[in-house]
Amino acid sequence: MKRQGLHNPAIMAVASSAQGQKAIASTLESANTGVNAAVSIVKGVLKTSLFLGIGYYAYKKIFNGFSPLKENKRDKPSNISTGMAKNKADAIYSAMYGIGNGFKSVKQNLMGINANGFVQIYNAFGLRKGINPLSKKMNLIEWLNDQFSQSELMELRFIVPNYF
């Protein structure tokens, strides 16, 4: 049977003396201080991470987020399906992307849709990036205003009034 504990009588004598007790107490105190400091650092990192996360979320929502339009319940329901709206949004984007503005294609894709149909196309379009890597992402209305002249926009306003 093996005994546990301190087997050296010299260590027992030092540990039981007043200076030994002070040394043991200061060692335990410094160990506790180190643990408290580590806990304090972890709490600070967590608080900072939470603050930065909330700040980033707010920044994205305020300055960089896409806000979908809501369909007007007073108008007629959309005359296109969600899938058709997605296809029209993709066709409009590919017409405007790159060199030239593809006005005829955009006009053709917007022809015959009602106001709530345009809302569906706008929402399906979302935010899309231009050809310039430094440009910001734009929604459909921003793209149309960026790509077309005032006379072209006037033609589109006759097709879909009150949106751009």
Look at residue 61 and tell me whether its pLDDT is greater than 60: yes
Mean pLDDT for the stretch of residues 87-92: 95
When pLDDT is cut at 50, 70 and 90, the band that residue 108 belongs to is very high
pLDDT for 19 equals 74
Average pLDDT over residues 63-78: 85
- Provide the pLDDT for residue 5: 58
Check whether 51 has a pLDDT greater than 70: yes
Helices 103-110 and 150-159 cross at an angle (nearest 10°) of 20
Report the distance separating Cα 83 and Cα 94, nearest Å: 17
The arithmetic mean of pLDDT across residues 78-88, rounded, is 94
Distance CA 46, CA 10 (A): 47
The DSSP call for residue 138 is: B
- Does residue 31 register a pLDDT over 80? no
**Which amino acid is residue 57, in one-letter code?**
Y
Amino acid 89: pLDDT: 95
Q: Would you say domain 82-159 falls under CATH 1.10.220.10?
A: yes
SS3 label, residue 128: strand
Average pLDDT of 98-122? 91
